[in-house]
Amino acid sequence: MKISNLVATFLFVGVFASSGLAVESNQEVIYNNKCAECHGLTAEGNPVKKGPALNHKSIGDLQITILDLQGELSINGDSSGDHYKMEHNIKSFAKEGYIIKPLEMSKFLYYSFNPEAARH
Ligand code: HEC
């Protein structure tokens, strides 16, 4: 194979890989791959990573915080400390092709992990 072919192949693969193929929008997959590390496998929280528990929150509460973390709201106007870190994560997830949908993610968290959900 000629060098130029090899280069073209690499370019093609590179473009292909960054063309949206890697997009993930299944909220459960995203949670397990990206969020569980800090918030726990069952959203029970992870003190080591300082991720708070999310398994006691209502869908509405979760949705508002996730929107806020995505920068859609500005309830928490500060850009310092832990909140800033989280916001940064969500932005870098988006760049990696993980599409977080606030309402869907909140429902997933609530119905999978909140003991309250079992009563409805
Ligand atoms: C690197 C660790 C880390 C990762 C990864 C992470 N979080 Fe967080 N998260 C935190 C920390 C620390 C806080 C608390 C401080 C803050 O508000 O940012 C937090 C706060 C939150 C809150 C608000 C909780 C509250 O009590 O107000 C929600 C909701 C949340 N994260 C959802 C997610 C989701 C969804 C993902 C995956 C897409 C995720 N987090 C990934 C560390 C993380």
pLDDT in tens, 14-60: 554 555 557 999 999 999 999 999 999 999 999 999 899 999 999 99
Q: Does the Cβ of 43 fall within 6 Å of ligand 1?
A: no
pLDDT in tens, 56-100: 999 999 999 888 887 766 555 555 556 666 667 777 888 889 999
Q: Whose CA is nearest to atom 17 of ligand 1?
A: 83
Distance 19 CA to ligand 1 centre (A): 28
With beta carbons less than 8 A apart as the criterion, state whether 106 and 66 touch.
yes
Q: Whose CA is nearest to atom 2 of ligand 1?
A: 38
Count of beta carbons in the 10 Å neighbourhood of residue 76: 14
Distance 89 CA to ligand 1 centre (A): 8
Q: Does the Cβ of 66 fall within 6 Å of ligand 1?
A: yes
How far separated are the first and last CA of the chain, in Å rounded? Answer: 63
Alpha carbons within 13 A on the beta-carbon side of 61: 9
Q: How far is CA 19 from CA 42, 49, 57, in A?
A: 32, 32, 36
